[in-house]
Structure 1
């Protein structure tokens, strides 16, 4: 199986797992951590391409699990996290990872945040080393072993 197909299959499988937990993923901590994760993955290379920003925003709007929350609220939070990362990536990353860490009180939510990061990262068919690295950092912030997610 080609790498591209494995990435798509893995992202699809993770999305199915998320959908199965949809009713358990309604807290504010999960909402904020998910948007922080989406922004972190979108900005993983230290910059935010307008096309990538738009693509991730579309993925957020159409993600079944994230439909537990108002789309305009998610968009506002996603944009705020991207603004932090754009202003100063390294400093912004510390702040974003702190918000991601707030989801660690509920292990199911913490795992779902990581799964969302992987789904977002793999949505374009590539889950590059920079995206993998920021998702791995988020695992540490959530006290989850990266190996659980093949990171």
Structure 2
């Protein structure tokens, strides 16, 4: 058995066919490159839009944080004012309670009957200018006197 190699071409691999095939492939590659360029252009445009949006969001974040800080300061001031007013309210309630108790005590003392007649100072027994007329406090009332 002999090995026989056909080294001559059978016409399927002509140079003109190869050139046409390469040109078609070249056209296809150019189309793919144009499509890729369009795709990258859209991606770049989208990236720029996102960067712009990020910058706007950063600015908005700074504004929101400054507004929040102002609100927190205002809230702290209002809490201080509320505590001050609550203190005033407690004090007013305490004073009202004291007045109520004082009025009740005054009403009870005013209801007490007076047993003896109130003497003017010049008629009081301790107002005597003669010390002999003053009876000592330890002395008993003498009915005969």
TM-score (norm 1): 0.15
Q: Return the index of the structure with the highest Cα Rg.
A: 2
Q: Which has the higher contact order (CA 8 A, sep 6+)?
A: 1
TM-score (norm 2): 0.16
